[in-house]
A = this chain, B = another copy of it.
């Protein structure tokens, strides 16, 4: 593919964006090739030319989007030096005004739902999570080296931190009426702080 590199580099991002936007709107299971083609402003034939099959299309769009979100998290973390503050730096995820996050949460819930039955999607999810775990482990290790953290098992603690973020995010996103932004941030700060400093 891609004899004409210029047109390719215009079309493909546009298709991926259209796909992700539609998924956010209707759900992975409910988008159609016609809809994607229409939003990406090309024909169904053209769409299929770039992504042969709906599965391939969705897979690419999801992977691309998650990669971007992760990059963002890493960049924000990298601007911080203190290990504990790094571990708490992901509260940008609790921002209702960020349209990318609205998309991201919906995508994430979709993926989880499908992953509960489909090994392939389970792998996508695991890979995504593993990236964050790696990031968290680095911060924890630095905190230990600096003498700030008391942690029995870095890996296990990183997974607990990550699980806390996810649990809080789920409630915060799906029931904002009963779970304020402040509750989310307070809970994460309290629990993550405990995980890295009060381990017996």
Contacts and interface: CB of A to CB of B under 8 A. Distances in A.
A178 B126 contact: yes
B113 A27 contact: yes
Main DSSP-derived SS at the A contact region:
helix
Contact of A112 (B26, B109, B191): B109
The quantity of this chain's copies bound in the complex is 2
A142 interface: no
Nearest to A27: B117
Interface residues of A, number: 47
Interface of A: 25-27, 29-30, 105-106, 109-110, 112-117, 122, 125-126, 129-130, 156, 159-160, 162-168, 170-171, 173-175, 177-179, 183, 186-187, 190-191, 194-195, 198-199
